């Protein structure tokens, strides 16, 4: 069926107006689409204020250079306890020493004993007081004495304390004389001598030192209740017998 010309024109006009209106709404919807900003935001990464605080950044501040991480780690306190150095042995009266004079026209080796005044007698400069000094301190003192006396402008001194000894007696498996090298404690000396015999009484250990008599209980030392004493040159350590 064919519509009249006037009616068909009106229908076409209404369709055209509706189509134009739909296009306008579609364009406005694209311009005001609330999701469009979110889609763009995924391509514009940024950190929030909370994230900046966590990262240690203030607004507008530049990130710290990567090497600061190593600096901060290095600045942390060392949790590993540093062991204390051992106590250096000091020379005393009666010690036998070897003193080697080097870097001079006629090198010399002097073997002497520290006398009752704490002195040794050296060529050209006479007596030098060494009691109470370590071997390294004695070397510097002798070098200084020769230079100040203007005998030598250049000299190297080497001081060596002769091997000291201590003695183990009583209920010990290997009684006898032992060299004292470095710092040796009572428990170390007992172990070096092979330990106790079956009849030993570790509660009664006597050390004869010069004019003194010292008493120790090894059980208390092993339990940490008493200090483990250092052995000195010439000590006589006696392990008493256990009576059953």
140 and 175 assigned to the same domain = no
71's enclosing H/E stretch is: helix 67-75
Q: How many domains does the chain have?
A: 2
Note the pTM of the prediction, 2 decimals: 0.44
Name the residue range of residue 219's domain: 164-241
Residues with Cβ within 8 Å of 33's Cβ and at least 6 positions away in sequence, in order, are none
Asked if 143 and 170 sit in the same domain, the reply is: no
Q: Classify strands 176-180 and 200-209 as parallel, antiparallel or unpaired.
A: unpaired
Considering the domain boundaries, does residue 37 fall inside one? no
| pLDDT for position 21 | 61
* Tens digit of pLDDT at every position of the chain (244 positions): 554 555 445 555 555 555 556 555 555 554 554 444 444 444 444 444 444 444 444 444 444 444 333 333 333 333 333 334 445 678 888 888 999 999 999 999 999 999 999 999 999 999 999 999 999 999 999 999 999 999 999 999 999 887 788 999 999 999 999 988 778 999 999 999 999 999 999 999 999 998 899 999 999 999 999 999 999 888 999 999 988 6
Q: What is the CATH number of the domain that holds 110?
A: 3.30.1950
Residue 79 resides in a domain: no
**Helix (H) / strand (E) containing 62:** none
How far apart, in whole angstroms, are the C-alpha atoms of residue 100 and residue 23?
A: 109
Provide the token pair at 8. 């068909």
Residue 137 lies in a domain: yes
* CA–CA gap between residue 94 and residue 234 (Å, rounded): 10
Q: Does 58 map to a domain?
A: no
**Residue 8 belongs to some domain of the structure:** no
Same domain, 129 and 170: no
């Amino acid at each position: 069926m064919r519509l009249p010309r006037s009616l068909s024109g009106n229908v076409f006009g209404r369709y055209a107006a509706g189509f134009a209106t739909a296009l306008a709404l579609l364009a406005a919807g694209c311009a005001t689409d609330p999701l469009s900003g979110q889609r763009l935001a995924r391509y514009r990464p940024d950190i929030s204020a909370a994230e900046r605080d966590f990262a240690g950044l203030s607004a507008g501040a530049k990130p710290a250079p990567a090497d600061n991480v190593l600096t901060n780690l290095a600045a942390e306190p060392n949790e590993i306890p540093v062991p204390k150095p051992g106590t250096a042995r000091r020379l005393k009266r009666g010690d036998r020493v070897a003193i080697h004079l080097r870097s001079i026209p006629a090198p010399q080796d002097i073997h002497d004993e520290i006398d009752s005044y704490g002195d040794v007698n050296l060529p050209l400069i006479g007596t030098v007081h060494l009691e109470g000094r370590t071997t390294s301190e004695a070397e510097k003192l002798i070098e200084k004495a020769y230079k100040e006396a203007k005998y030598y402008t250049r000299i190297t001194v080497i001081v060596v304390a002769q091997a000291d000894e201590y003695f183990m007696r009583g209920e010990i498996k290997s009684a006898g004389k032992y060299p004292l090298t470095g710092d040796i404690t009572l428990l170390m000396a007992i172990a070096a001598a092979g330990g106790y015999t079956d009849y030993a009484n570790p509660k009664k250990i006597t050390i004869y030192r010069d004019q003194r008599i010292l008493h120790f209980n090894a059980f208390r030392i092993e339990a940490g209740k008493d200090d483990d004493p250092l052995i000195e040159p010439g000590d006589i350590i006696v392990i008493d017998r256990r009576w059953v």
